[in-house]
Amino acid sequence: MTQRHSQPLAGKVIVLDAGHQLGNHNFPAQINRPVPAGGFTKPCNTTGTSTDGGYSEATFAWKVTSRLKAKLEKAGATVVLTRKSNREDRWGPCVDFRGRKGNKRHADLKISIHGDGSLSSGAHGFHVIYPPDRAPWTDDIFGPSKRLAEVTKEALLKKGFSVANYIAGGDGLDERADLGTLNLSDVPVVMLESGNMRDSGDAAVMTSAKGQERYARALALAVRTYLG
């Protein structure tokens, strides 16, 4: 087997952003500090959400990211993480750091992994967020980011996930201009809200090893498809 087939992502640089950090709630001053977010400021970070049983978004994002990293590296990619731990005694990094991560390395793409916390009755499913055509911040990455969002959506559907039933449009895609993680990126980027952690059905999948593996497989498929 040739290297091209055994390592189809050789030479590619991929940034993975596991949303939040387990210890953010222990550092309110640090995470509430305003930072640049693309023409305005936002808090450095937030605590993230959790399931009704207390399983944190930070842990979900970390576990999916860790599984995805292993798959991408096996395929030959260089994977850059925005955070390298999931600990109660750590916080951040801030959204401006996350947004710029990979810019200097001219990464091929960036995926930010999250879980949502909607309290709307019956709200469930995933949605993929991408930046708008907004000069001078994201006009240069709007097109490829939207394509990455579309590819990510299709990969998740192929792995049996359902689009969110509580996001305007109802097609699983969401264009947003208010997120520093997207606005400060110079490389194609999307943010995945993997499911609603407040929904019992989504939570059961998101907290299970089997479910986290399925998310990682879907995202690995998205990366391979996007990069051809």
Residues with a catalytic annotation lie at 193
d(CA 181, CA 101): 9
In angstroms, the first-to-last Cα distance of the chain is: 19
d(CA 210, CA 63): 11
d(CA 225, CA 222): 5
Among 114, 58, 42, 56, residue whose Cα is nearest residue 91? 58
The answer to whether 145 touches 189, Cβ cutoff 8 Å, is yes
Q: In terms of residues, how long is the chain?
A: 228
